[in-house]
Structure 1
Amino acid sequence: MKLHWKKISAGIAFALLTQSATCSAFSLSFLNHAKPVTASSPQTLSADQLKRLTESIVAIQENYITKVDEKTLIDNAISGMVTRLDPHSAFLDKQELDDLETTVSGEFVGIGVELTTDRGMLRIISPIEGTPAAKAGLKPGDLIVKVDDKLIQDMTVNEAINHIKGKPGTPVVLTLIRKDEPKPLIITVNREVVKVKAVQSKMLSPGYGYVRLAFFQGPVEQQTRDAIETLKKESGGNLKGFILDLRNNPGGLLDVSADVVDLFLTKDETKRYKDLIVYTKGRISNSDTHFYAHDKNIIPGVPMVVLINSGSASASEIVAGALQDYKRAIIVGTRSFGKGSVQTVIPIGANNALKLTTALYYTPSGREIQARGIEPDVIVPEFSVDEKQMTSLLDIDEANYDRHIENHTDAGANSSTDTIVNTHTETERTKQRHNKRNDQQKSELKIAKEDYQMYQALMMLKGAHALR
């Protein structure tokens, strides 16, 4: 089989449970492609070890209760050998190779969730925004223990995914264990064609922009640039603060994530770590890669917050880690997932391949992310704001009283500082100012109700702007 991918992948490879994709739950950080292994390769096995393998196969063929063909036994032996190395290495058959390419290309049919293995179960890294999984209420950290009526204990990721896959429009029933829930949850998710919008943006408050990245694949760098340019225009060229939301972003392509980081760095900032954005190191030299900044900052001097959570993985951690190292942004939220390994696809024969972990990646300062993640500068857990508490936050101040003494700061140069004018009605200017303030406060309280972490990020940016 011809392997023709050219880009390095950094993410959970969008475990979208595609209709034909057993690879869709692979946890990929980087995806390299190596030359096929040949008979002339210098590494060899001892005769004793080969004899053990051969004798085991013969014993199964002669004694097992049902007949098992030789290819199945060899495939199972290789798969078991590789999957016991780490959660992200795997043996790929022809279908899984096709599925892997489909996954990287961005066409999906499924429920839209990234998965990894955890103690014989499937742990949800994050549901992709706008997909059936997100709509059904699946959350990062949920453990899947049953698919329909089948227990998945001790299945491989691929085997479990095979039970979850299905045709568009058909339901799958997942039994979940969720932290702080007293008993398992049973949730039905309908499989659909998954079309995820990579970049979304909006103005949260006058002068304060927001961009949400769902993954790092395709023209995300250009779309991010375009979104920010639109925000700059909407703010009249006076962008006071910017939020980059990477929560529940599983990753994607390494070069795309590096390009996104490049949008926010200047040469003066990157001198500290020799312009590095990210680098990888492995046991062999061709596993080492380096990505550098190019002085492309499109919002110089604008305070910035990056939102992360436990569903932010790989490429998201590259972005957050680099911006944190260079002190370009305040990282807010909860600790990221901690997926910092590099996988290489090595062809084995015509139609098979091994996906092996071959390196780890590092932030510009040399921090290793694997199994540690990015710690936020400011920890803000997910939090629900009570409606009654929100109502109590509405302003009641001196200006709300009848017959209050009016403030004449804006009355003009002719006003005497020694003269106090007691008026029974507010001026039109005071009314407009008061209404504008109330509208802004209601808008911010709406954000607090819908997304407390985003609200806190906005308040941090407003505080930073006030000190400028």
Structure 2
Amino acid sequence: MPLRPIQHLRHLSQRLVFLGGTALGIISLSSCSVPYSLPITTYNPQAEYDLQTASEIYTDAFDHITEYYIEEIDVSQLALAAMDNLTTIDPELEIIDNGNSLTITYSGEPISRHGYPSTLDSIAWAWLTASVISEAQSLSSEFQKSSGEKINQAVFDGVAGELDKFSRYSPPDKAKINRDNRNGFGGLGIRYVKDPKGAHIIAVMEKTPAEAVGLMAGDIITRVDGKNISQLSEKKITRLMKGPENSKVRISVLRKNKASDTIEMEITRKKIIVQTVYYSSKDGIAYFKITSFNNHTPQSMLDKVRKAQKENGDNLKGYIIDLRDNGGGVKNAAVVTADLLALLRFVE
């Protein structure tokens, strides 16, 4: 690559949210806690790239990464990594590091040269990054037809790549899903897969509106508020079923071994915390599967432990804690859960 290599860091400290103008994203850093929050604005993934807005986004991102990263890292490293990754949009663009300046070339031809600001000046480095992108737009048809979000994806993929393998950039729509999974959302309390007829329920979460009205695994939701969902994507179906807490939604349900007539149900949405702890017991051994850590995981784990103790009584021989394929999550929740295990003498 034209930029001189920069040593990758091995440790990460926080989960960072950054926002500016019309874009909202999240860079996930290991040893994460509740994300650092910034004001939320309207997000349009197809919005054109705007120099001022982009500069504000990059300034926020650079500031928070350098503040929360567990080891010292210069803003210049992040910005150079971001600009170097712009070649993923158009390989004809090349950013050459000259030591105290960079040269932009396109199709092998030098175009311009830019001096470097102070290594700690996040505003100046953010403006330089946004300016290089703006210049690339004047040269490249690939950049001209790229949305602002696609360009930001390249920028922050480059930034995350400068950290370590556990860092990643989540675009705004994915970041919202992640926040919902951590903090909860207004919904029904089901897990489903797309089916030619609609939404095929594969699990009903405990103590949710879906469980209260009698929805079952194997049911197929065919309509939501009268709208046929058979041709909709999972994302659009989910959007229809989610809504403000205490709002009502009508669904039409097909149930196996029932008459061809659909079952009509009206459900009041409640706050849904994604279930992360699953429990089963066999021969006196309590088995717990923890799929991730959200704000409800410690309480859910405690509830499941009490259930295991009540069901097995003196026959309880031991516990198995399964963390395979656990994707991580909220650091504080993981710590509290670990403390719970230690207090209950799960861990010697």
Tell whether the structures are fold-level matches, with TM greater than 0.5: no
Structure possessing the higher relative contact order (Cα contacts under 8 Å, 6 or more residues apart): 1
Shorter-chain TM-score category?
0.3 to 0.5
The structure with the larger Rg is 1
